Amino acid sequence: MDTKDSNGNILAEGDSVTLIKDLKVRGSSGILKRGTVVKNIRLTDDEKEIEGKVDKVMMVLKTEFLKKV
Protein backbone atom coordinates (compact mmCIF):
# COMPACT_ATOMS: atom_id res chain seq x y z
CA MET A 1 0.00 0.00 0.00
CA ASP A 2 2.12 2.86 -1.33
CA THR A 3 1.04 6.47 -1.66
CA LYS A 4 1.69 7.56 -5.26
CA ASP A 5 1.44 10.86 -7.12
CA SER A 6 -0.39 11.37 -10.43
CA ASN A 7 2.59 9.96 -12.36
CA GLY A 8 2.94 6.83 -10.21
CA ASN A 9 5.98 8.03 -8.24
CA ILE A 10 6.00 6.81 -4.64
CA LEU A 11 5.62 9.60 -2.07
CA ALA A 12 7.31 9.56 1.34
CA GLU A 13 7.09 11.66 4.52
CA GLY A 14 8.88 14.99 4.01
CA ASP A 15 8.70 15.02 0.19
CA SER A 16 7.75 18.13 -1.76
CA VAL A 17 4.96 18.05 -4.33
CA THR A 18 3.51 20.44 -6.92
CA LEU A 19 -0.16 20.93 -7.79
CA ILE A 20 -0.94 19.98 -11.40
CA LYS A 21 -4.38 21.64 -11.44
CA ASP A 22 -6.10 24.67 -9.90
CA LEU A 23 -8.08 23.42 -6.90
CA LYS A 24 -10.95 25.08 -5.06
CA VAL A 25 -10.55 25.12 -1.29
CA ARG A 26 -13.59 23.55 0.36
CA GLY A 27 -15.33 25.87 2.84
CA SER A 28 -13.57 28.92 1.46
CA SER A 29 -13.60 31.12 -1.62
CA GLY A 30 -9.87 30.51 -2.09
CA ILE A 31 -8.19 28.67 -4.96
CA LEU A 32 -4.86 26.84 -4.90
CA LYS A 33 -3.09 27.62 -8.15
CA ARG A 34 -1.46 25.08 -10.42
CA GLY A 35 2.30 24.99 -9.77
CA THR A 36 1.99 25.67 -6.03
CA VAL A 37 4.68 23.74 -4.16
CA VAL A 38 3.72 21.93 -0.95
CA LYS A 39 6.83 21.08 1.10
CA ASN A 40 7.35 18.56 3.87
CA ILE A 41 4.20 16.49 3.28
CA ARG A 42 2.79 13.97 5.73
CA LEU A 43 1.20 10.69 4.71
CA THR A 44 -2.28 9.77 5.98
CA ASP A 45 -4.03 6.45 6.56
CA ASP A 46 -5.68 6.91 3.14
CA GLU A 47 -3.20 6.23 0.32
CA LYS A 48 -5.09 8.67 -1.94
CA GLU A 49 -4.53 11.66 0.39
CA ILE A 50 -1.62 13.55 1.95
CA GLU A 51 -1.41 16.43 4.42
CA GLY A 52 0.62 19.53 3.75
CA LYS A 53 0.83 23.21 4.67
CA VAL A 54 -0.20 25.76 2.07
CA ASP A 55 0.16 29.40 3.13
CA LYS A 56 0.62 28.26 6.76
CA VAL A 57 -2.69 26.34 6.70
CA MET A 58 -2.69 22.53 7.02
CA MET A 59 -4.70 20.96 4.19
CA VAL A 60 -5.55 17.46 3.02
CA LEU A 61 -4.83 17.05 -0.69
CA LYS A 62 -5.73 14.25 -3.08
CA THR A 63 -2.66 12.61 -4.63
CA GLU A 64 -4.27 12.51 -8.09
CA PHE A 65 -3.66 16.30 -8.35
CA LEU A 66 -0.01 16.21 -7.24
CA LYS A 67 3.36 15.45 -8.76
CA LYS A 68 6.59 14.85 -6.90
CA VAL A 69 9.24 17.57 -7.20
Question: pLDDT tens, 7-22?
Answer: 999 999 999 999 999 9
In a domain, 1, yes or no: no
- What is the number of structural domains in the chain? 1
pTM score of the predicted model:
0.92
* Residue 34: CA count within 13 A, CB half-sphere: 4
In a domain, 25, yes or no: yes
In a domain, 57, yes or no: yes
DSSP 37-49: EE-S-EE-SSTTE
We report the CATH number of the domain holding residue 44 as 2.30.30.40
In a domain, 22, yes or no: yes
* Domain hosting residue 60, numbered range: 17-68
Interval 45-57: pLDDT, tens: 999 999 999 999 9
The mean of the pLDDT values for the chain is 96
Cα(56)–Cα(64) distance, rounded to whole angstroms?
Answer: 22
Is the predicted pLDDT of residue 1 greater than 90, yes or no? no
